[in-house]
Amino acid sequence: MATKQRQQVRKGAHGGMQLVLTEDVQHLGKQGELVEVKPGYGRNYLLPNGLATVPTEHNLRLLERYKQRVVQAREAKIADLKVLAEQIARVTVQIEANANEEGHLYGSVGAPEVAKALKSKNLNVEPDMIRLEGPIREIARYAGKISVGYESDADVKGLVVRSTEKK
């Protein structure tokens, strides 16, 4: 009676499991790379969410064909992101906030408010893309960085002004 062999996941040089990424995973690798991760991370996060697959011979053959299409799509996406970065660098956003007579804000202005102001200018920017040195607490002109992805950054200029709305 023949027994069915269970397919084992390859072990890496450091004892972790080897997986092929099907999507870009931040701080781990790009799509199509063979990576070594701890077994729990692969089994409980990467594989169930479809971010990685087991590197079988069949998957590796499919991966080689797929890599060419991925490279072309990535280059097109990088070109689009560079255009977005140039558009962001040209724009100065104005953010209204409640402040006292000395110019101190009653609250603070952070990444969500900057992202909302950029979206009002038809620039698709999420709050987690924006890096500020800290929360903005005074009325002034500020600058920050936006990471649009693929090592592309854009400088954003913002002007925080006192709200004209009276209650």
pLDDT tens digits for 55-93?
A: 888 877 887 777 778 788 888 888 888 888 888 889 989
CA–CA dist 134, 82 (Å, integer): 26
Cα four-point dihedral sign 117, 123, 127, 133: negative
Q: What is the pLDDT of residues 17-45, one digit of tens each?
A: 999 888 889 899 988 888 999 999 999 99
Return left, alpha or beta for 12; rule: phi > 0 is left, psi -120 to 50 is alpha, else beta: beta
- Give burial (CB, 10 Å; 0-12/13-18/19+) of 144: middle
